[in-house]
Amino acid sequence: MAENKKSFILYCDLIHTVKKLPDDKAGILFKHLLSYVNDENPTTDDLLVEVAFEPIKRQLKRDLEKFEEVKIKRSEAGKLGGRPKNQTKAKKANALFEKQTKAKKADTDNDNDNDNDNVTVNDNDISSILLSEIKISDVPIEEIEFYKIALAFNQLFEKNISEAGGTLKHIKSAKYNKWVNPIRLLMVSDGITKEKLTLVFKFLQNDEFWKKNIQSTETLRKQINKLILAANEKPRNNNGKGLSKEYLENLFG
């Protein structure tokens, strides 16, 4: 952290990541975070902790850059004699700043509450961005595989729900963290391989019962063991009907 900086911002939406972690991993993550902000340059061999901490570290760096910019501006203002002589202009400037701050906060709140807003990806902060609005270039390299798999399942669920005449609201409002985190945890924490996810993906194209009951990656994670067993018991239904052989061979990239 910057010299003489005694605090940092921890954002509320971090809970979506921490809730997915086992308690021991969450504790390790918090200790790793505190060590990092105290300039102890921590390292970890725990892949799950490393993956969970990476977006936190990026946000901390962005906040630190903003902090340094404010310090510089305040220092320059001090050199000019502090408050400007024209107090009327100063009050107007402060009022404008407050309006801009409130507007920015309202925009942030709308991003969280209104799933239909158009959002621009800034500073690689894609945690609350819609899957449909994310480009592969926006995704951190270490998360590309998780993102591809989450996106493939999102599209499959949309197809299954459309065929059943159901509502697509939660599919259209699918956000990065909510859909990618379960896939990351399936593979990193639960030890589910890409091959097993491919098996389940093919199975969910045809099994009429599970097609109706698995409509998100969060539910997919909760039911993954049952799905793997069902897919292995019914190989005749696991043929990927409706998709080309080339597509299946290149599933999830």
DSSP state of 125: -
Q: Using the CB atoms, write b or e for 3-18: b if 16+ within 10 Å.
A: eeeeebeeeeebeebe
Q: Whole-angstrom Cα distance, residue 169 to residue 161?
A: 11
Residues in contact with 161: Cβ distance below 8 Å, sequence separation at least 6, in sequence order = 167, 168, 171, 215
User: What are the Cα distances from residue 147, in Å, to 122, 144, 166, 252?
Assistant: 18, 5, 25, 9
pLDDT tens-place string over residues 20-38? 788 888 889 889 878 887 8
**Where are the domains positioned within the chain?**
1-82, 86-114, 131-249
As given in the structure block, the two tokens for residue 82 are 């502090």
Q: End-to-end CA distance of the chain, in Å?
A: 39
On whether the CB atoms of residues 56 and 33 are closer than 8 A, the answer is: yes
Whole-number Å distance between alpha carbons of 249 and 253: 9
Is the sign of the CA dihedral 126, 111, 63, 184 positive or negative? negative
DSSP H helical ranges for the chain: 15-18, 23-37, 47-79, 87-113, 144-164, 169-172, 176-188, 194-203, 208-213, 217-222, 224-233, 245-249
**What's the pLDDT score for residue 107?**
53
pLDDT value at residue 229: 93
Check: CB of residue 115 under 8 Å from CB of residue 130: yes
| pLDDT (0 to 100) of residue 244 | 44
2, 34, 63, 67 from 7: Cα distances, Å: 10, 11, 11, 11
Highest mean pLDDT among 34-48, 79-93, 104-118, 134-148: 134-148
When pLDDT is cut at 50, 70 and 90, the band that residue 95 belongs to is low
Residue 99 has pLDDT above 50, yes or no: yes
* DSSP designation for 167: -
Lowest mean pLDDT among 10-24, 146-160, 226-240: 226-240
The percentage of the chain sitting over the pLDDT mark of 70, rounded to a whole number, equals: 68
* Most confident region among 13-27, 76-90, 216-230 by mean pLDDT: 216-230
The residue type of 76 is E
Residue 2 CB: number of other CB atoms within 10 A?
Answer: 12
